[in-house]
Amino acid sequence: MARFLTDGRIDLKSMTLDELQAELVALGHPRFRAKQVYKWVWQRGVSDFMDMSNIAKDARTQLAEHFSIDFLAPAMRLDSEDGTTKYVWQVADGHHIESVLIPDPGIEGHSKPRMTLCMSSQVGCAMACSFCLTGDLGLTRNLRPAEIINQALQVQASLPEGQRITNLVFMGMGEPLHNLSNLLRALGVLLDEDGLNFSHRKVTVSTVGLVPQMLKLASVTPVNLAVSLNATTEETRAQVMPITRRYGLEDLMRGCREFPLPHAKRITFEYVMMRGFNDTWDDAARLVKLMSGVKSKVNLIPYNENPQREILRPSDEHVKAFQHFLVSRGVQCSVRRTRGIDVSAACGQLGKATQGLRIEEANIEGPTVSLDDAPA
């Protein structure tokens, strides 16, 4: 049983329901107590065991002695002109992570309104993709399961009554599959009907292409998969995504073809379009070939320019023509609309808001969360 400790107590929010049940039975509690506590924490969002009114007072006191109920500390909130909101959180050791809430009113007769939360899985990122500012931070550590789940819990609590997060995407800071064990624990709570009760159809995990971990994810949970592709040849992909040197393009596409997909699901291939680098008609033709034999959809992401990179964004006209080329050849394809760029909340920009924050280190007891399956 994995244990995450805070001030000597067990971090309750990083436990599965089964683990919590085992701990409570060992302390002399009835088995049903675990589900009571679990619902109080995840469905009612309590911060104090004394608020758990259907549990005897002496039992609540014992729980408070053995377990902690941790939350993220709000550090900053930035509201974009387009309605996007960036949340900056401070975690227990003083570092910062970011989440982005993206409202979409939908299009009548075509798509329903959505409220999508883009979540982080690590403090920084080890993948060092050249077009992504988060990669400049390097990797500090993995997020605990509680730190992952609390992003959804606390953003939901901040919304006006009647509004609800509808979709979760793990496309924020970090590579989710680089933190696979903690991600799977978090997904367990996010999808549990006694937890936050999200549908697996509304949860998407993005990866740069950690092929073994992709297949492990599929063996445990049926959430959606998004693969960050961004190039159509081995050489160009290696220039912008160092992970290619470990899992080449051929390995990645083979893994995608082997990826078990439930009926009606497709793998999303994210393709950041960079002018003159990966947006030629030869690239478009190669992309059509790469999608052959894969249940897929391509999401074109025009690069979000910033002063720290010399990379340029293609024109809107070129992006539209590139999309038409793919669609006319049978590739399901969409273009991601840039959101939150004025608050550095757009794709590839997370981490900018935290760089100017003063970091105050705090002591936190317990073992350091180890990295699993680190790329070479």
- Supply the pLDDT for residue 345: 74
Please indicate whether residue 360 is annotated as part of the active site: no
- Supply the pLDDT for residue 80: 94
Sheet architecture: strand order including 296-302:
73-79, 85-90, 96-104, 114-118, 167-170, 203-207, 224-228, 267-273, 296-302, 333-335
In this structure, of 72-76, 112-116, 247-251, 366-370, the range with the lowest mean pLDDT score is 366-370
Can you tell me the mean pLDDT for 41-52?
96
Structure tokens at 346: 């757009």
Please indicate whether residue 118 is annotated as part of the active site: no
Report the run of H or E that residue 272 belongs to, with start and end: strand 267-273
- pLDDT at 263 > cutoff 90: no
Can you tell me the mean pLDDT for 66-89?
95
User: Of 118, 132, 333, 347, which one is the catalytic site residue?
Assistant: 347
- Supply the pLDDT for residue 103: 94
- Supply the pLDDT for residue 31: 96
Report the run of H or E that residue 363 belongs to, with start and end: none
Asked if 13 and 31 touch (Cβ cutoff 8 Å), the reply is no
Q: Which residue has the higher pLDDT, 357 or 336?
A: 336
- pLDDT at 279 > cutoff 90: yes
Can you tell me the mean pLDDT for 183-188?
97
- pLDDT at 239 > cutoff 50: yes
Q: Measured on CA atoms in the order 169, 175, 180, 186, is the torsion positive or negative?
A: negative
Q: Summarize pLDDT for 100-119 with one digit per residue, the tens.
A: 999 988 766 667 889 999 99
- pLDDT at 56 > cutoff 60: yes
User: Of 23, 98, 147, 175, which one is the catalytic site residue?
Assistant: 98
- pLDDT at 2 > cutoff 80: no
- pLDDT at 374 > cutoff 60: no
CA 198 to each of CA 186, 265, 330: distance values in angstroms, whole numbers, following the listed order = 12, 17, 32
In this structure, of 53-57, 192-196, 257-261, 361-365, the range with the lowest mean pLDDT score is 361-365
Q: Summarize pLDDT for 4-22 with one digit per residue, the tens.
A: 988 899 999 999 999 999 9
CA 176 to each of CA 23, 125, 156, 210: distance values in angstroms, whole numbers, following the listed order = 28, 10, 21, 10
- pLDDT at 1 > cutoff 90: no
Task: Give the chain's domains with CATH numbers.
Answer: 5-68 (1.10.150.530), 73-343 (3.20.20.70)
Can you tell me the mean pLDDT for 43-49?
96
| Cα(341)–Cα(116) distance, integer angstroms | 16
- Supply the pLDDT for residue 354: 62
Can you tell me the mean pLDDT for 242-261?
96
Q: What is the mean pLDDT of the chain?
A: 91
Q: Summarize pLDDT for 124-144 with one digit per residue, the tens.
A: 999 999 999 899 899 999 999
- Supply the pLDDT for residue 350: 82
